[in-house]
Amino acid sequence: MDYLVIEGYKSAAEEFSKEASLDAPVDFDSIENRMNIREALQRGDVGDAITRVNDLNPDILDTNPSLYFHLQQQKLIEFIRQGKIADALQFAQDELAPRGEESPEFLAELERTMALLAFESSPMMPTSVSELLSPAQRLKTAAEVNAAILESLSQGKEAKLVGLLRLLCWGEAMLEERADLPKLDLNDGTFGERTPR
Amino acid sequence: MIMTVTTLNVATLKAVKNAVIGNRTAKGHYGRDEMFVSRLVECINDPPMSPSDPEGTRTNLRIEAAHILASLSYGSPDALRMLLRLNASQALLYAVSTFKPSDSVPLKAALTRALRALAAAIADTVGPSQWGLSPTVSDLRPEAKAALDNLFQPDILDVYIPLLNDPSPQVSTAIAQLIASSVRDSTHRTKVSDWCPPGERTVETKGKRGWEKREPTKSPSRQSGWIARTLTTLLRQKDAKLQEAVLSALASLTKENEPLALRLARAPPGQEPVLSTVLSLCKSRNTDLQLAASLCATNILRAPPAPKSHLSYISPADQATAITIMHVLNRIISLDAASNPSKTKACFILYHLVTDHRLFCQLAYERNCLVQVAQLVTSITPLENTEFDEDEPESVSRLREAALTVVAAIAMFDNDIRTAVTDEFKIIPVVQASLSHQYVGVRYAACQCARALSRAVAALRTNIVDTGLGMSVFQLFMKEDEDRQVMHAASTVVCNIVTDFSPLRSTLIEQGVIARLVLLLNTHDSALRLNALWAFKNLLYKATPELKRQVMNSIGWQEVRHLFEDPDHRIREQAFHIVRHVADGVDGVDLLFSEMGGSEVLLGHLAQAIESDDDEDVVLQAVFVLANMANSAAHQRSILADSRILKCLRDCLIDAKVEIRRPAISCVLELVRQNPRSHRELHEAKIDSTLRHMCEHTLHVSASPTTLRLGGGRQMGAEDDLEVQDKARQALHWLEHNADMDV
């Protein structure tokens, strides 16, 4: 349940709650809000995402300069992805340059993003720059927003299930040095033979 | 994205809101637009409506306006300036005062949130800073101070304090946060702690005699009652954000507030004190909650004055509380996953826990706090190149400031701890590097570390001299446009390194420390002036006659005479102490007499101080001057010829505390011993009979130097201090011997 709530799967959480006769730890509407924001980011509509975050809690972006910067950075990336170079340049000048002035620690990131414009579709573009265009970048930004919202509600940032799995893998790694043991196959959830090192 | 707003409607307001949130530049732009902000402020209570507006527009307009005001409050000095000028806080207070039960929760939440944001911004401008040093003093401070004081007027408190009991947690949280961030000085603290609702007030005012006038907020049986009870009740609710806000509010209210702190630390039998609840919240899983609870517990623990001596007793309960807090903070400091802001707060809370408290410093050291902090600061400080990264995030700079501040506090008293800091944790390179950091808080904290380390006499050579740390601080001290607070910290180090046993003394003199100190002496900053005098005093101790002349000429003899009459007693004390050190040695006394306008003027100043200064420490130093002067045979006659001074001496012998009587009797003894004819003057001054009284009725006393003095004078005129007694006897012997020798 915790996993479904934190990751924002509202209808799944609702069904699960009915089936397992569990009370939801939070109001399902708040899950829906976070889901909408995540979806907006995944389709590249950063402006909508920002509006929704501000409607949900106007404090978040004001008290999280790093998050705000990443959202604006994402917006610039989306302009570039859509080929709207003039818009991108205008936006970078009006919105991102001031961020860099206000907080010099964002300058490096800003430069990396501007490099996208410099390289255009050149095959010489280094991976560190090209990965900004990947869907993974959108997911990264979305995850950051999700975490910030959860923190503002004083809920856990990471699904406990994820934490447990991590602990499990670490524990197995520790034990493996001293004994044979059946390891959990994370792909299909079965316990298999120990793979030789 | 920045546009000119012509009509104020929900859509345009939302657009402005989304433009300004997070965007400092946009805030500045809109904030400087007086017309816009003025309409916005009006919108809080009286939004522009048209007949065609749908249901709920009025509320929505007010909500959006409130959100914008809140956002404009932080991050933009220009916007804040406009908000102050247009009295935005009054508009918000009015809105809050007219809350109706029918008002929607989002509206109430938005308005209280805006009030909280604006109050916090105002409080930050007025200061003092709640976390570390505030980098600049704003020119808005006077207006901000007026607005802040207004927030704590009795009728204004009546508007928002009751909202702590509002059914909506968003509202009560906002008010608790308001208290947490705005209460920073003792007057405001008392007003809030003592507040009680109007209903309870009028009942109390009746009292036994209805015609008795009582102050509206002082209800004796309820002092520090309502707020404490209300916040305690809120603390027990399961809402983490609310709990965090309440803990922070309690922290702000209990700081240096012993009555409230005691109330929270104790409970009637059978009940658990609030402090227990706070301590259990220290151990919650939520870092923010842990920090808020730690700060609250720390302030409760440290509200009573710190014990004076290292032999003082700390109750087991207090010790356990301190240990719990240290454990929680240590964990946060050493946790990789904890954010820089969290670690920064943890360091500052630890600082508040141990500062100026020998025993807690020791405890912190034993509990490995120093290890953790030292590791932290070493890990974030690049030592390969001495240049700090200009783009270093502010959060890292603040963390460095916090960590160095704690190190300085823990190392302030004990040599073993200082040794650990330098030898085991090798902090000196970090401190050295930090002295030239661009962020003022880091330089200040580095100076404090240097100060702590420079207090160790034995280690002075290795830690301060050989490492070059002393000279680095000195360079900082000599900088023309350095921040005043950093100057103050650097000057305390200079005080410690100009002492007679410091290998750096001559270097510092060569490099112009005297001239620099004179500059500081002539500023209007009383803290800097005091430190300058302190440094001069240390410089003059056991100085050569040439050095004495050089220093005193630089200060100016006339100037010193002015200082004797400075309104600040600490300045007067140092001035006399300086002269005392000059007078140490016959050459020095000669110098004094020749340069201070002659014996009449000099003795006149001393007599004035001894007779009529309110402050005992000033009197003490003046008597020491006299005692030193009496060692010079050439000038004893001048002293003996001055009946006013002799009267002063006599009064000291009779009336003053033992620390003053000792130099006084030394002075008399010297005068008598070297001047056979002195018995006449001393007889006229009645000193001889005083001496006889002192020697006659010897009480059996313990050898303790701090014997109890009863009332203003001693019983029967007898002397109870062994050292004084002994000298009195010697003086009497000489006196009578001289009298016998005379015809």
- Give the pLDDT of residue B293: 97
For B307-443, where are the E strands, in sequence order? none
Residues A150 and A172 in one domain: no
Residues A111 and A186 in one domain: no
**Nearest CA distance, B239 vs chain A (angstrom):** 9
- With respect to residue A110, please indicate whether it lies within any of the assigned structural domains: yes
Query: Cβ contact (<8 Å) for B241 and A95?
Result: no
Lowest mean pLDDT among A111-120, A135-144, B325-334, B559-568: A111-120
- H or E element in which residue A19 lies: helix A10-20
- With respect to residue A135, please indicate whether it lies within any of the assigned structural domains: yes
Q: What are the chain A neighbours of B393 within 8 Å (beta carbons)?
A: 103, 105
Beta-ladder partners of A191: A184
- Give the pLDDT of residue A193: 58
- Give the pLDDT of residue B69: 96
CB-nearest to B391 from A61, A65, A105 is A105
Residues A22 and A109 in one domain: yes
- H or E element in which residue B97 lies: helix B88-97
CB-nearest to B18 from A51, A65, A95 is A51
> Rounded to whole angstroms, how far apart are CA atoms B361 and B352?
11
Residues A151 and A174 in one domain: no
- Give the pLDDT of residue B598: 84
Whether B393 contacts chain A with CB within 8 A = yes
Q: What are the chain A neighbours of B240 within 8 Å (beta carbons)?
A: 154
pLDDT tens-digit map of B554-599: 999 999 999 999 999 999 999 999 999 999 988 999 999 889 888 8
Query: Cβ contact (<8 Å) for B390 and A62?
Result: no
- Any idea what DSSP says for residue B423? I
Query: Cβ contact (<8 Å) for B24 and A98?
Result: yes
Whether A154 contacts chain B with CB within 8 A = yes
Q: Which of A4, A62, A44 is nearest to B79 (CA)?
A: A62
**Nearest CA distance, A58 vs chain B (angstrom):** 7
Query: In the predicted model, is pLDDT for residue A71 greater than 70?
Result: yes
**Nearest CA distance, B187 vs chain A (angstrom):** 30
Q: Copy the structure tokens of residue B530.
A: 């005091």
Mutate to test the interface with A, among B12, B14, B21 (most CBs of A within 10 A): B21
Beta-ladder partners of A184: A191
- With respect to residue A15, please indicate whether it lies within any of the assigned structural domains: yes
Whether A54 contacts chain B with CB within 8 A = yes
Mean pLDDT on A145-171: 78
Residue A75 or residue B201, greater confidence:
A75
Q: What are the chain B neighbours of A98 within 8 Å (beta carbons)?
A: 23-25
**Nearest CA distance, B349 vs chain A (angstrom):** 21
Residues A120 and A170 in one domain: no
Q: List the 62-101 stretch of A: residues with Cβ below 8 A of B.
A: 62, 64-65, 68, 94-95, 98
CB-nearest to A58 from B17, B25, B241 is B17
List CB contacts of B251: < 8 A, sequence separation 6 or more. B180, B292, B295, B296, B298, B299
Q: What are the chain A neighbours of B341 within 8 Å (beta carbons)?
A: none
Query: Cβ contact (<8 Å) for B113 and A64?
Result: no
Count of structural domains, chain A: 2
Residues A26 and A80 in one domain: yes
The percent helix, strand, coil of chain A (3-state, each to 5) is: 70, 0, 25
Q: Copy the structure tokens of residue A19.
A: 């089936």
For residue B687, the one-letter residue type is: I
Residues A93 and A186 in one domain: no
**Nearest CA distance, A184 vs chain B (angstrom):** 27
Burial class (CB in 10 A: 0-12, 13-18, 19+), A108: exposed
The domain containing residue A179 runs over which residues?
162-191
Residues A78 and A36 in one domain: yes
For B356-434, where are the E strands, in sequence order? none
**Nearest CA distance, B118 vs chain A (angstrom):** 13
- Give the pLDDT of residue A166: 80
Tell me the mean pLDDT per 10 residues along chain B, length 743.
Answer: 76 94 92 94 92 88 96 92 95 95 92 97 93 84 95 95 94 96 95 89 57 49 75 91 96 94 88 92 92 97 84 86 96 91 96 94 94 91 66 87 96 91 89 92 95 83 84 92 92 91 89 94 92 95 93 93 93 94 91 88 91 90 92 87 89 89 91 81 84 71 45 55 88 81 59
Q: What are the chain A neighbours of B67 within 8 Å (beta carbons)?
A: 54, 58
A145 CB neighbour count, 10 Å cutoff: 25
Q: Copy the structure tokens of residue B254.
A: 């209990």
Q: Which of B730, B643, B725, B655 is nearest to B680 (CA)?
A: B643
Mean pLDDT on A30-36: 84
Q: What are the chain B neighbours of A54 within 8 Å (beta carbons)?
A: 17-18, 21, 67
Residue A89 or residue A191, greater confidence:
A89
CB-nearest to B22 from A51, A68, A108 is A68
Residues A71 and A57 in one domain: yes
Domains with residue ranges and CATH for chain B: 10-151 (1.25.10)
**Nearest CA distance, A196 vs chain B (angstrom):** 33
For residue B485, the one-letter residue type is: Q
For residue B733, the one-letter residue type is: H
CB-nearest to A58 from B71, B75, B241 is B71
Give the residue from chain B lying closest to A64, CA to CA.
B22
Give the residue from chain A lying closest to B117, CA to CA.
A59
Tell me the backbone φ, ψ of residue A192, rounded to 5 degrees. Answer: -115, -175
Whether B24 contacts chain A with CB within 8 A = yes
Residues A152 and A83 in one domain: yes
Query: Cβ contact (<8 Å) for B21 and A61?
Result: yes
Residues A88 and A106 in one domain: yes
Mutate to test the interface with A, among B3, B23, B380 (most CBs of A within 10 A): B23
- With respect to residue A31, please indicate whether it lies within any of the assigned structural domains: yes
Rg (CA), chain A: 21
CB-nearest to A62 from B14, B22, B25 is B22
First to last CA, chain A: 36
Q: What are the chain B neighbours of A108 within 8 Å (beta carbons)?
A: 391
Whether B18 contacts chain A with CB within 8 A = yes
CA dihedral of residues B490, B495, B496, B497 (deg, nearest 10):
80
- Give the pLDDT of residue A196: 52
- With respect to residue A197, please indicate whether it lies within any of the assigned structural domains: no
Query: Cβ contact (<8 Å) for B393 and A102?
Result: no
- With respect to residue A196, please indicate whether it lies within any of the assigned structural domains: no
B341 CB neighbour count, 10 Å cutoff: 16
- Give the pLDDT of residue B202: 64
Q: Which of B107, B117, B132, B110 is nearest to B76 (CA)?
A: B117
Query: Cβ contact (<8 Å) for B394 and A107?
Result: no
Residues A41 and A125 in one domain: yes
Residue B510 or residue A1, greater confidence:
B510
Query: Cβ contact (<8 Å) for A58 and B70?
Result: yes
- With respect to residue A178, please indicate whether it lies within any of the assigned structural domains: yes
A66 CB neighbour count, 10 Å cutoff: 15
Give the residue from chain A lying closest to B26, CA to CA.
A95
CB-nearest to B21 from A62, A108, A153 is A62
- Give the pLDDT of residue B544: 92
Give the residue from chain A lying closest to B389, CA to CA.
A105
CB-nearest to B391 from A50, A107, A154 is A107
